[in-house]
Amino acid sequence: MTQPQPQPGILDIQLYVGGKSSVQGVRDILKLSSNENPNGPPASAQQALAEAASTLHRYPSSDHSGLRAALAELHGLEAQRIICGCGSDELISFLCQAYAGPEVEVIHTEHGFLMYRLYAMAAGARLVCVPEAERHVDVEAILSAITPRTGMIFIANPGNPTGTKISDEDLAELIAKTPKTVVIVLDGAYADYVEGWDGGARFVEAHDNVVMLRTLSKMYGLGGLRVGWGYGPQHIIDVLNRVRGPFNISAPALAAGEAAVRDHDFVIQHRAQNNAARAYLAEELAALGVASDPSDANFLLARFASQEQAEACDDHLQSLGILVRRVGSYGLPECLRITVPDMAGCARVLQAVRSFLEKTP
Ligand SMILES: Cc1ncc(COP(=O)(O)O)c(C=O)c1O
């Protein structure tokens, strides 16, 4: 060998490709490719960010106590069992680093979020892909994939890119029938869009092997700042804190994140706006013959007749400056994932899809 070699598994990782943000020659872009908040970041967070500018010479808090206190207060959780990460992505990586590894099987679902696979591979673990039932997580299929080597199970609920949610009854069954040595990760990146739901926190309270992940990247409009958080049993949080760097979140991100979490009106308004626009977009797309599953998130998974039709529609949308997400890498080549925009954006998307279908019925 003539050069250093990475650990086994690393070179099998396919680079993650984020949502498109520009099209050459098109000015008026409507970016619906990364499930971002169409209203932008809360004004409260922008102000906190500006105020943080004068203390940039200081290292950030290493225990994130202000942000954890705000999250604990809002969600009725124990602050010492919250961990914050540079996006929830970082927490997925900590979990894999700590609980996966060579010979450990990590279960993810057919259309599950890609980062579970990437970080499990980076840890050298074995991936076990479980089929979904028509784009819904299938608890029975997960249970039948568990072996003595299973170390972790990742479920996004609601799922990305499906938008579908499984019930608390299904989660309760999964948790009850899974060996207590397996870490079950309930990824609630989109849980904020489900009014009155705790994202699975009740299961964390009741079990020693369940972790909930959340993010400020979606509902809270702070994807660019990279703030996520997790809630788990104390013994798991203590482990994750050992692999976490002391300054993994910058001071401006902590300040803006805490301000956003305390901005309850922002969330209430945006949730109502998203859920109304989502219902409208789904209904009008269906009227055009483009079906989608009921979504509990801030996006719809639009299903076309074929991969060719989905890609042709995407090309047409791009030519009009509307950027959505192809999801072939999630095993859904005949679908396009569309972030829910505001009502004016919905009208623009619908007009574009209508003109595409008229052109190529
Ligand atoms: C299901 C799911 N989990 C986690 C994440 C990661 O979010 P972030 O790292 O921005 O917190 C995303 C982002 O798209 C997601 O869709």
The CATH number of the domain where 270 resides is what? 3.90.1150.10
The reply to whether 146 falls in a domain is yes
Token pair for 361: 């019925």
Condensed to tens digits (0 to 9), the pLDDT of residues 211-241 reads 999 999 999 999 999 999 999 999 999 999 9
- Closest ligand 1 atom, residue 92 Cα: 4
Condensed to tens digits (0 to 9), the pLDDT of residues 263-277 reads 999 999 999 999 999
Range of the domain at 329: 18-40+265-359
Contacts of 343 (CB under 8 A, 6+ apart): 276, 277, 280
Closest by CA to 178, choosing from 167, 170, 190, is: 170
The reply to whether 153 falls in a domain is yes
Distance between CA atoms of residues 326 and 96, nearest Å:
27
Mean pLDDT of 336-353: 98
The reply to whether 330 falls in a domain is yes
- Closest ligand 1 atom, residue 227 Cα: 11
Mutate to test the pocket of ligand 1, among 34, 67, 92, 115 (most ligand atoms within 8 A of CB): 115
Distance between CA atoms of residues 272 and 26, nearest Å:
31
Q: Establish whether residue 198 lines the binding site of ligand 1, counting it when its CB lies within 6 angstroms of any ligand atom.
A: no
Whether residue 209 is found in the same domain as residue 80: yes
Nearest CA to ligand 1 atom 15: 189
Condensed to tens digits (0 to 9), the pLDDT of residues 27-59 reads 899 999 999 999 999 999 999 999 999 999 999
Average pLDDT, the chain: 96
- Closest ligand 1 atom, residue 226 Cα: 10
Is there a contact between 126 and 96 (Cβ–Cβ < 8 Å)?
no
Mean pLDDT of 136-149: 98
pLDDT at 361 over 70: no
Distance between CA atoms of residues 134 and 124, nearest Å:
30
Mean pLDDT of 293-298: 98
The single-letter DSSP state of residue 354 is: H
Closest by CA to 135, choosing from 113, 152, 103, 159, is: 159
Question: What percent of the chain has a predicted confidence (pLDDT) above 70?
Answer: 100
Mutate to test the pocket of ligand 1, among 34, 89, 111, 249 (most ligand atoms within 8 A of CB): 89
Is there a contact between 82 and 298 (Cβ–Cβ < 8 Å)?
no
Q: Establish whether residue 113 lines the binding site of ligand 1, counting it when its CB lies within 6 angstroms of any ligand atom.
A: yes
